[in-house]
Amino acid sequence: MNLLNTLVDKGLRREAPTREEALAVLATSDDDVLDVVAAAAKVRRHWFGRRVKLNYLVNLKSGLCPEDCSYCSQRLGSKADILKYTWLKPDDASKAAAAGVSGGAKRVCLVASGRGPTDRDVDRVSETIRTIKEQNEDVEVCACLGLLSDGQAERLRAAGADAYNHNLNTSEATYADITTTHTYDDRVDTVRKAHAAGLSACSGLIAGMGETDEDLVDVVFSLRALDPDSVPVNFLIPFEGTPLAKEWNLTPQRCLRILAMVRFVCPDVEVRIAGGREVHLRTMQPLALHLANSIFLGDYLTSEGQAGRADLEMIADAGFEVESADQVTLPEHRAAGGCGSHESAGCGSHERAGCGSHGGGGVCGSGAASPDPQAGEPRTDLVAVRRRGAGTDLAPNA
């Protein structure tokens, strides 16, 4: 297919495809999905080999968010039956982080619900970062706290943060359809603040909210223009009790096409499969490793994910290897760029409150699979609220 050959050549040269080419990837048929994966895999291997970076989420403060993001189980007015608790103490957060590190995670992502941190919140998170760094040598830490005020990114950097995550989520044209309590420009401003402070910027999207192909291409090109080190790709989990509970728009094949399009547009950037992979990719998850070079290990913010051991087995069985702490994630030309010593951002799908709605449960035994699922039917059996790990007395999934 001439399109795919052209896209591979451009990806190896770090050249952006045209909008028409990106749209054409999303428009390919299910019959061609393996050809699309094989082409994008050439770009992925060129820049990242067969390494898979593992990231681990610690939900520092869960629920009761004043923002109205439609996709989020922690949103204002959410009726989702999620865990709700206030700030974890630094030692408790560090213990949670250690579970992920012992499971193979290279980066820990510290997330808190809310519009954005107060200065006191920044002090609290800074203490948590220092505690984690003291107790877990060589771990990378990413903060995901929402909209930043002037000077806050610099304070997080001084405390030892390596990265900051804030997702654009969807196109500028449709942003007001999913959130009204802040703007698309607010999000762009926070990503730029992280960049300016020397933090590795992490910003991505959520697919499956009813958006068009044009919306997906628009947000990915906007992300390329912002030049984050990491682009997490979330697949919406329609939590009961949220406005998007009925939005079941994804198939495994469409998820693969979306990941391939992101890889072609952002060839040398860490592309992470984030929330929702278990629910929407399901048994096709190993194929997605040929497109993305990073995943989350274990559970998400308010939802359960595939068992950590199953993640590691999947990586090995698919012929990939877990990236070690002494390996640099990004290609040399990016790792030596504007983020100083900070390479690859790691905060995936999870900003402020936003990604608590993402993650699957049935794969890891938290819900029995339906006896005879039909293609295209909503897989509500794979959606499970997190009941273990941070904020509970039960051991985490890592």
Is 272 annotated to bind a ligand? Reply is yes
72 annotated active-site? yes
272 annotated active-site? yes
Q: Which of these is catalytic: 44, 69, 254, 263?
A: 69
For residue 309, what are the CA distances in angstroms to 142, 263, 276, 339, 359? 23, 27, 18, 33, 16
Instruction: Say which residue the tokens 């593992």 belong to.
Output: 54
202 annotated active-site? yes
355 annotated active-site? no
Is 364 annotated to bind a ligand? Reply is no
Per DSSP, the three-state class of 50 is coil
Is 266 annotated to bind a ligand? Reply is no
Q: List the beta bridge partners of residue 385.
A: 303
255 annotated active-site? no
Q: Which of these is catalytic: 144, 202, 255, 347?
A: 202
Cα 193–Cα 91–Cα 161 angle in degrees, nearest 5: 20
Q: List the beta bridge partners of residue 62.
A: 85
Q: Which of these is catalytic: 75, 107, 109, 254?
A: 109
144 annotated active-site? no
155 annotated active-site? no
Radius of gyration of the chain (CA): 19
Q: Which of these is catalytic: 44, 107, 142, 334?
A: 142
**N residues, the chain:** 398
Q: Cβ neighbours of residue 17 under 8 Å, at least 6 residues apart?
A: 6, 7, 10, 264, 265
Q: Which of these is catalytic: 65, 144, 347, 355?
A: 65
Q: Rounded CA gap, 22 and 291, in Å?
A: 15
Q: List the beta bridge partners of residue 144.
A: 111
Answer for the pair 99, 261: CB distance below 8 angstroms, yes or no: no
Answer for the pair 86, 372: CB distance below 8 angstroms, yes or no: no
Q: Cβ neighbours of residue 373 under 8 Å, at least 6 residues apart?
A: 379, 381
Q: Which of these is catalytic: 72, 144, 255, 347?
A: 72
Q: Which of these is catalytic: 124, 157, 187, 272?
A: 272
Answer for the pair 240, 80: CB distance below 8 angstroms, yes or no: yes
For residue 51, what are the CA distances in angstroms to 7, 67, 180, 289? 22, 37, 39, 9
Is 202 annotated to bind a ligand? Reply is yes
Q: Which residues are annotated as a binding site for [2Fe-2S] cluster?
A: 109, 142, 202, 272
Q: Which residues are annotated as a binding site for [4Fe-4S] cluster?
A: 65, 69, 72
Q: Which residues are annotated as a binding site?
A: 65, 69, 72, 109, 142, 202, 272
Active site (catalytic) residues: 65, 69, 72, 109, 142, 202, 272
